[in-house]
Structure formats: structure tokens, C-alpha cells
Amino acid sequence: MNTETVKSRVELEFTVNTSPSILYSRLITPSGLSEWFADDVSIKGNSYMFNWNNVQQAAELVSFKENKYVRFRWINDIDNEENYFEFRIAQHELTGETALHVVEILSDDDTEDTISLWNSQIAELKHVLGI
């Protein structure tokens, strides 16, 4: 019996009219993430603890480059190390606008709910940034 896990990739792009450094601080710091992504965020080393309505979920900061990208892996997905979510920051050469790319690799095929969740979360981020 073959029990291969279904993988889905969600990739979204949002225009975020702020500087890459201001955006980056909202993507990697506990205080920045708790403004829009979770109710509360704490870190210990490379482990981030996200809290939503008294439900905790831990993630590992896998890689980052200042003002460019941040990649996390949910710790409960230890068997699926290819599952991650990532924020990439890019500035359009012609317009100068800042774009936020959100990439998430899922172990299931729940892409519609994931897209809806990210749209909601990024709307909250824009609200926090005043845009």
C-alpha cells in the first residue's frame, strides 16, 4: 500500500507600500508578528511559539536574509521537512513598489482555505502598517 503524501504549493503576491526594512521587522520579530499574524509570539533560539486563542503552535526559523526573506517550518511537521511557509520581499525595479511573496508548502490539498487565510492575514498586516 502506497501512502504518499499529497503536496500542494500556495504562492501569493501582495503589494505592500512600505519599506523592505519596516516590512521585514513585521515578519521576523515577535512583536511584529504578534501585530498581525498571531495573538502572541515568543522566541527561544530559532524556535518561535505562536499563540492563537490559547492554542499554541511552534515553528522553527529555518533561514532568513535581512530585508529579503524569512522561512519557517512548523515543528509538528518534523516528518515533512519540505513543508514550510516563507515570506519574500522584493522591490519592483520600475515602480519602486514593495511586494510581499508568501509561499507555503502543504502536506494536504487544502489550498482554498490556505489562500483565504493568507488574504485575511495580509489584510491585517496592511492595516497595522496603515496602508
Q: What is the CATH number of the domain that holds 94?
A: 3.30.530.20
Cα atoms found within 13 Å of the Cα of residue 72, Cβ hemisphere only: 20
Tell me which residue has cell 536574509.
65
Please identify every stretch of the chain with a pLDDT value under 70, giving residue numbers as ranges.
Answer: 1-6, 77-81
pLDDT score, position 118? 95
Any domain includes 2: no
pLDDT score, position 49? 96
Note the pTM of the prediction, 2 decimals: 0.86
Domain count, the chain: 1
- Determine whether 79 is exposed, middle or buried from the number of CB atoms within 10 Å of its CB (0-12, 13-18, 19+): exposed
Contacting residues for 51 by C-beta, under 8 A, at least 6 apart: 38, 39, 40, 41
Parallel/antiparallel/unpaired status of strands 69-74 and 98-106: unpaired
Structural domain boundaries enclosing 96: 8-129
pLDDT score, position 78? 54
